[in-house]
Amino acid sequence: MREVVSIGLRNLARRRSRTALTLGMIFFGTLLIVFGVGLGEGTYADLIELATRSWAGHFQITADDYHDKQSLFTTIDDYRPLLSKLAENKEIDGVAPRVESAGLLALGNRTTGVFATGVDPVLENKVTTVSRTLLEGEWLQSGGTAGELPIILGSGVAKRLRAKVGDEVSFVGQAADGSIAADLFNVIGIMESGMLELDATAVLIRLDDAQEMLSLDGRVHKIVGVLKSISLADKLGGLLKLPEDLHYRGWKEVMPQLAQTIKSDRSGLWIFNLILLAVVALGVTNTMSMAVIERSRELGVMSALGTTPARLVGIVLGEAAWLSLIGVGTGLAAGIAVNLLTLKWEIPVASEPISYGGIEIASMHATNTVEAVLYWPAIILICALIASLPPAIRTARMRPADAIREG
């Protein structure tokens, strides 16, 4: 075995230009795949963080059918013990309760339909970045002056009502006890999140004010949370052991369009990587085929002197193994280094940063994920070795007399 390995390494020096060309092909193929997968995963992570932290959260907990059919009466009753339990979970970074209700908002003789969300000003700030989206005014504060009910309007709502900070608006809707929910609010801020639906219909009020107005004391419609690692979003639901009437949804269920977009983009990246794999495999096959043809007399003499077919195959595979290991190893090292460099010197995405939900993305970076630095390099190595099998098998099948004559 040691002789096979040493012969394979020595054979690399016979045709140095061809060896260098093949090594370069494997090197750049590995580098491109490691960098491409790393850049894709880094971009996906930023995109998910942008979408989830802006408003939706990494996960949501609601009464079982609330997500599919929102109703004022479908609530999480006595939510505080659950909120405390979630806050104590070491995998959860923050949770915030919400109350939601549709209604009409009026200013003077102008009226528009809105979707009012009652939020805890402190907890919401720990979970989402919506407080950073204010065009003007200030964020909600806990407590405040007695009798004053603050409200923040989405930019689309403010535009339709021609409202500005300091105006007094009236909200009318339905309360959970069947009465009319109505109150006067003072506009303290106008937000522009970058999410068209939210900006067009959303207004934010304090959770306590919403519960009192809607007769929902001790009840909320949903609990939104963020995790220390978003990779746990799919698994956490099975670990929480929620009551049967409550349902956990990770960000993929909450935002299926985003999940599908990322899945489709990953499929495109797979196709690109498979093309690179095919190029590398063809290069290895061609190199080893040429090596076998050039050394057919030598291999024929070795066979005539008693070298077994298995040993001849081993010699060819040994050379291919060295080619693959050196090419993949150096390509992997370079790819990891490039990915690390993009963390310090990021790649600009455009002349102006992309702003969404209070978060800006001005550049992209690659990340060294397990898929990028382990799975794909291993696949390249295996494919390169498989590609060397046809020339190796051809060597084993050669008849010594024919091989010597052809050489």
User: Model confidence at 198, in pLDDT bands (50, 70, 90)?
Assistant: confident
- Say if residue 407's pLDDT is above 70: no
User: Model confidence at 305, in pLDDT bands (50, 70, 90)?
Assistant: low
Domain residue spans in the chain? 2-52+259-406, 65-243
Residue 76 and residue 245: Cα distance in Å, rounded?
A: 9
Strands 354-356 and 134-137: unpaired
- Say if residue 154's pLDDT is above 80: yes
Residue 177 and residue 179: Cα distance in Å, rounded?
A: 6
Structure tokens at 230: 């978003």
User: Model confidence at 157, in pLDDT bands (50, 70, 90)?
Assistant: very high
Which runs of E-coded beta strand occur in 219-321?
Answer: 219-220, 222-227, 246-250
Q: Which pLDDT score, from 0 to 100, does residue 110 have?
A: 95
Within 10 Å of residue 356's Cβ, how many Cβ atoms? 19
User: Model confidence at 237, in pLDDT bands (50, 70, 90)?
Assistant: confident
User: Model confidence at 344, in pLDDT bands (50, 70, 90)?
Assistant: confident
Q: Which pLDDT score, from 0 to 100, does residue 316 have?
A: 74
Q: Which pLDDT score, from 0 to 100, does residue 58 have?
A: 95
Average pLDDT of span 224-231: 92
Within 10 Å of residue 193's Cβ, how many Cβ atoms? 23
Residue 303 and residue 403: Cα distance in Å, rounded?
A: 9
Average pLDDT of span 257-284: 89
pLDDT digits (tens, 9 = 90+) for 201-223: 999 999 999 999 999 988 999 99
Per residue, the 3-state secondary structure of 186-241, as one string, reads EEEEEECCCCHHHHHHEEEEEHHHHHHHCCCCCEECEEEEEECCHHHHHHHHHHHC
Amino acid in the structure at residue 58: H
